[in-house]
Each structure stands twice: as structure tokens, then as C-alpha cells.
């Protein structure tokens, strides 16, 4: 699993410990990765006060196969909604366990 956010590496490390996260976590301060995927939020930028980041990604979860092809996407139409674990697990079972 890979995560992408605009957090600084130090902030990611701190939060990783708090939430006991094990994923490879990337820092996308200049939104280069976010833009490569076309996931920069185009509406109101409601980022952390005092943080100089230009924008934030639209919360999105992608399942990618071993050939680099996107099998499944779950995207939030508002930032208060996240992909719940049951939704992600169902997608993994549907797409990766399929015969």
C-alpha cells in the first residue's frame, strides 16, 4: 500500500506513529504526483492554516494491478467522506481474488 499526501515528511512520520500506519507514505509537497494522476482539488482550498501548500488532492483510493492498470477507483465528492475499510476490502476481494 502506498499513500500520497502534501504533508511534510516529518509530519507524516509523526502521524504514522500515532496511527500505527505501515504503508509506504509519500510526501507530495509540490503536487507533482497528484497532478500526474489529475487529482488536484479544483474547488475551495481548505488546507491547513499556515501550511504553504497550493492545494490538496481529492481523497481517492485506487487499486492498481501488477501491470500498472487501474482496476478500481473510489473518490470522495466531499472531503468529509473517506473510503471505509469495508469498501476497500470488498474491492480487493472482487478484483484481486477473481479467478
Partner 1 sequence: MKTMTANRKKIGTTLGFVALAVAILAVALWSRQINQVAIPEDRTLFVAAFLAAAVLGVAAFAIGTRWFGGVPAIFAIAVGSFLPFTIAISPQQVAENPIRVGDTIPIFTALDDTGERFRSDDLAGSPVLIKFFRGHW
| Binding region for partner 1 (CB under 8 A) | 1-7, 9-13, 15-16, 23-28, 32-44, 46-48, 51, 56-73, 75-85, 88, 92, 96
CA distance 7 to 13: 10
Grid-cell match 507514505, residue found: 25
Smallest gap from Cβ 23 to partner 1, in A, equals: 7
- For partner 1, the closer of residues 36 and 99 by Cβ is 36
Q: Which is nearer to partner 1, 13 or 54 (CB)?
A: 13
Nearer to partner 1, 42 or 99 (CB): 42
CA nearest 57: which of 29, 83, 98, 24?
29
Cβ burial of 43 (10 Å; 0-12, 13-18, 19+) is exposed
Minimum CB separation of residue 52 from partner 1 in Å reads 13
Amino acid at each position: 500500500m502506498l499513500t500520497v499526501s502534501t504533508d511534510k515528511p516529518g509530519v507524516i512520520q509523526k502521524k504514522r506513529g500515532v496511527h500505527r500506519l505501515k504503508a509506504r507514505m509519500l510526501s507530495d509537497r509540490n503536487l507533482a504526483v497528484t497532478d500526474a494522476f489529475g487529482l488536484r482539488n479544483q474547488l475551495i482550498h481548505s488546507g491547513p492554516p499556515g501550511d504553504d501548500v497550493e492545494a490538496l488532492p481529492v481523497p481517492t483510493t485506487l487499486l492498481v494491478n501488477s501491470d500498472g492498470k487501474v482496476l478500481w477507483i473510489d473518490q470522495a465528492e466531499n472531503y468529509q467522506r473517506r473510503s471505509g475499510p469495508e469498501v476497500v476490502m470488498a474491492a480487493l476481494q472482487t478484483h484481486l481474488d477473481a479467478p
